[in-house]
Amino acid sequence: TLYGTSLQLPAAEWVKQGLTSTELGEVRYNRCCALALSLHAQQHAAGGALTKPRVDETRSLLTLLLTEGDADPLEVAEDPDFVHLRASEWWAPLLASGAAPAAHT
């Protein structure tokens, strides 16, 4: 996929091509939203069940977004793309841990 291919490029390659780390963050965020929306569609098709690998991928990408400072916990909490994940046991702790993202140098 476009997102998957783009995210395999190191950040230095993005800079070399004239793109900013902000644009990389936006691609990451959009991919995470797309994953979350596909989970929601899958959940309806499977009668409420979610596929663990896809949930883990979404959670991992959300963790990266928050720790790298590419997303604000409040923005993520209010984004309707993630509404069906809010009941997950890992949701609140993840957002709380993202309240202090890593500093960019």
**Residue 22 CB-density burial (10 A; 0-12 exposed, 13-18 middle, 19+ buried):** exposed
For 3-30, the pLDDT digits (tens) are 566 666 666 776 677 666 677 888 889 9
d(CA 101, CA 10): 20
Q: Report residue 78 as tokens.
A: 């209010």
d(CA 26, CA 85): 20
The overall average pLDDT reported for the chain is 78
What pLDDT is attached to residue 51?
65
Is residue 104 over pLDDT 60?
Answer: no
pLDDT grade for 82, boundaries at 50, 70 and 90: very high
Which range has the worst mean pLDDT, 1-5, 32-36, 82-86? 1-5
What pLDDT is attached to residue 53?
73
**Residue 65 CB-density burial (10 A; 0-12 exposed, 13-18 middle, 19+ buried):** buried
In this predicted model, which residue has the larger pLDDT, 58 or 6?
A: 58
- Domain ranges for the chain: 2-97
Q: Report residue 64 as tokens.
A: 């990266």
